[in-house]
Structures are given as structure tokens and as C-alpha cells.
Amino acid sequence: MKYKPLGNTGLYVSELTLGTMTFGENEGPFAQMIGATGQELATKMVNLSLDAGINLFDTANVYNFGESEIMLGKALGGKRKEALIATKVYNPFGKSANSLGTSRLAIMREVEASLKRLGTDYIDLYQVHNWDTTTPIEETLRALDDLVRQGKVRYIGLSNFNAWQIAKADGVSKLYNLERFCSVQAYYSLVGRELEREILPAAIDLGLGTLIWSPLAGGFLSGKFTRESEAEGRRKNFDFPPVNKEKGFAVIDKLKEIAESKNSSVAQIALAWLLHKEGVTSVIIGARREEQLIDNLKSVDIELTDEEMKQLDDVSAIAPEYPNWLPSMKRGDDLFSRFTER
């Protein structure tokens, strides 16, 4: 397991993160869509991850309506100081006007609830789960800054922001000398590369770390899906994130070819591709079964050649959007010379 600094901080995180969205009991609508592990399996997965060198565990207040945080806290138990806990705030638990969002009221209420469920007195990485269109970002950042100064939160991150929102938040933090977001949690996979257009370049430019969610596209890149048949599993009940399946099956064909040559699984190659990509700090893996987790953990041992990376890049490439399809001119190149000749 390799470790990388999380953005411009001194905090080092493992290149794989254990995602705990599946931690919960086998009841309720959330469990029916995502699946649920139960406490015994959740604890086993946490221990397997720690043994493999994972030090970051990602959850959210809304996952299984708080059960994920409770189970993660119980699973870590006396090993809390060996781990980094990342959780999130934004989504509602109730139906009141102030249930949703990242107002000062909501943040202060939800952080206390998360601390209690996790059984800890501090959160290592507290992430805003989505951009709040009704709360000024200054209010959100001031509340988060207070939590850092109080010691209840060590670092702050964001998730599912557009690039301009990331840049605006960073600018506000610098303007008012507030705690800066240090990380971006976002969706990225071989069948979902939109991140490369604006969000990833923004993160790299601003020095933010990246935590990648759904690297197997909700199981689509697990190796169980083919043109002939679609496997049972999460996507049967929850077809998310969206995938262009015609293009996706071409990606799967190439993954299978490379996986066979390395005696590995399709999922391992899909994860390894992300681990080789510029700007990726840590890839969040999750599982409903122990064998899935064990398979995913082996992705850190996969070495992809430049040619294999190119093949995967080519088959999964996205069409450039304006203004990125405009030609780039640099001083000294032929294109620049043609435009500047008198």
C-alpha cells in the first residue's frame, strides 16, 4: 500500500480508501438499493482493510440513515487512532425547512450527531456532500473553520462540486483567511471520465487531493456485466451512476483482455487504471461481500504499462467540449508561428 499527502496538507492517506455505504442492516429502502453488510461483516471488512494498510475510511451521515457511521465506529473500536475517518454533511434526515444543507445551524447540528454515532470526539476529514444553492459559501466555510479551531474536525473537504464552485470556495477561504478545503471527492471511472474536463484540472491547479467514488461505476466494471447478460447486484435495483452501455461494453472487452494477460480480475484492472492516473490521491472501494473486498485490495499490486494505459485511455476517451477542442498555441511551436507571422 502506498500513501500520498492529501492535497497541500501534511496528512498522508492510503491509495485505497474503504467506503462504508453498505454498512447497515438488511432493512429499509436504502439497504434494498445498495445492499447491507450487518455489523459482523462490517467489522471483518474494517479489519481486513487495516491489515492491508488502508488508513482512511469514508462514510456519511446519510448512509443507511446513520447506521453506517454507527457500524464504522463500532468496527474500529479500540483501533480508532490507527484510522482516519471521513464523513459528510448536507443531506437531510427530517422534513423540516432546515434539515437540508450546509447552513451554520445544519453543520453544527449534524457534526454533533455524527460524532455521537461514530463514538469519537473528532472527525479527521469533514466533507460537504454537495453544493448548497441556498446558503452563502462564506457561511458554510466560517462554520467549518470554527469546527477546526474547536478541534472537532481536523481537515475539511468537498464532494460533488462543479469546478467553478471549487474555485469560488477556495477563493473565499483565501480572502477571509478561513480553513481551505483540502480534498475533492468525486465520481471517476473508465466509463465516467467527465471529471477530466474541468474538475480534475481545478483540483490539481489548486493543490487539492482527490478521493474517487464509485471507481467500478456501481458494479458495471466488476467483470460480471457482458453484452449477453447483466449480472444480479446493485445495478438491478439502483442503476447508478449512469453509463453509456454500448461504449461501456467496449471498455469491458479491453479490460478482460488485459486482465487475462495478467491473471487478474476485470475489477482489479479498472481500479489499477485509476491508481495510475495523474491527480488521483485515493480510490474508494466498497463491497457487499468479503471476497469482493479481498479482490479489490489486490489492485494495488497491478502494474500497467504505458501501452496498456493508452489502450484503456483510447477505448474510454470522451469527446472534448468547448473550449477544450480549440487548438492550443505555445510560443515556439508551428501553430503559434503561423498565427503570429506578419
Pairing of strands 123-128, 153-159: parallel
Q: Which of 237, 301, 235, 233 is nearest to 264 (CA)?
A: 301
Q: Rounded to whole angstroms, what are the CA distances from 18 to 1, 100, 103, 249, 328?
A: 13, 26, 28, 27, 39
Distance, CA of 131 to CA of 116 (rounded, Å) = 25
AA identity, residue 51: D
Q: For the chain, what is the largest distance between any 2 Cα atoms, rounded to a whole number of angstroms?
A: 75
Counting Cα atoms < 13 Å in the Cβ hemisphere of 237 gives: 10
Distance, CA of 210 to CA of 190 (rounded, Å) = 16
Contact 209, 158 (CB under 8 A): no
* Measured CA angle at 114 (ends 112, 115), to 5 deg: 65
In the chain, the N- to C-terminal Cα span, in Å, equals 56
Q: Which of 221, 197, 244 is nearest to 295 (CA)?
A: 221
Contact 157, 185 (CB under 8 A): yes
155 is catalytic: no
Name the catalytic one among 3, 12, 63, 122: 63
13 beta partners: 4
* Measured CA angle at 178 (ends 84, 132), to 5 deg: 75
Distance, CA of 289 to CA of 167 (rounded, Å) = 38
Active site residues: 63
